[in-house]
Amino acid sequence: MVSAPSGTGKTTLCTNVRQTPDLIYSVSVTTRPKRPGEKDGADYFFQSKTEFENKLKEGGMLEYADVYGHYYGTPKAPVLQHLAEGRDVLLDIDVQGARQIRESKDPQIKASLADIFIMPPDLEELRRRLEGRGTENAKQIATRIAAADAEMADWKSYRYTILSSSMEEDLIKFRAIIRAERYLSRRLNLQNGS
Q: Does 194 bind a copy of itself (CB under 8 A)?
A: yes
Nearer to a copy of itself, 39 or 187 (CB): 187
Q: Does 190 bind a copy of itself (CB under 8 A)?
A: yes
Question: Which secondary-structure segment (H or E) carries 21?
Answer: none
Report, in Å, the least distance between residue 92 CB and a copy of itself.
18
- Cα separation, 67 vs 6, in Å, equals 12
Q: Does 167 bind a copy of itself (CB under 8 A)?
A: no
Q: Does 153 bind a copy of itself (CB under 8 A)?
A: yes
Q: Which of 24, 67, 113, 119 binds a copy of itself (CB under 8 A)?
A: 119
Q: Mapping DSSP to helix (H, G, I), strand (E, B) and coil, where does residue 23 land? A: strand
Report, in Å, the least distance between residue 35 CB and a copy of itself.
30
Q: Is residue 86 left, alpha or beta, with left meaning phi > 0 and alpha meaning psi from -120 to 50?
A: left
Helices 10-17 and 167-182, interaxial angle, to 10°?
Answer: 50
Report, in Å, the least distance between residue 138 CB and a copy of itself.
24
Q: Mapping DSSP to helix (H, G, I), strand (E, B) and coil, where does residue 104 land? A: coil
120 to each of 4, 19, 137, 147, 162, how far by Cα in Å? 8, 23, 20, 13, 9
Q: Does 166 bind a copy of itself (CB under 8 A)?
A: no
Q: Which of 117, 141, 144, 164 binds a copy of itself (CB under 8 A)?
A: 117
Q: Does 158 bind a copy of itself (CB under 8 A)?
A: yes
Question: Which secondary-structure segment (H or E) carries 30?
Answer: strand 29-30
Local structure of residue 108 (DSSP, 8 states): H
Three-state SS for 158-180 is CCEEEECCCHHHHHHHHHHHHHH
Q: Does 55 bind a copy of itself (CB under 8 A)?
A: no
27-144-44 Cα angle (round to 5): 15
Nearer to a copy of itself, 82 or 173 (CB): 173
Nearer to a copy of itself, 55 or 173 (CB): 173
Q: Which of 34, 146, 159, 165 binds a copy of itself (CB under 8 A)?
A: 159
Please give the residue ranges that form the binding site for a copy of itself (CB under 8 A).
116-117, 119, 152-163, 172-173, 175-177, 179-181, 183-186, 188, 190, 192-194
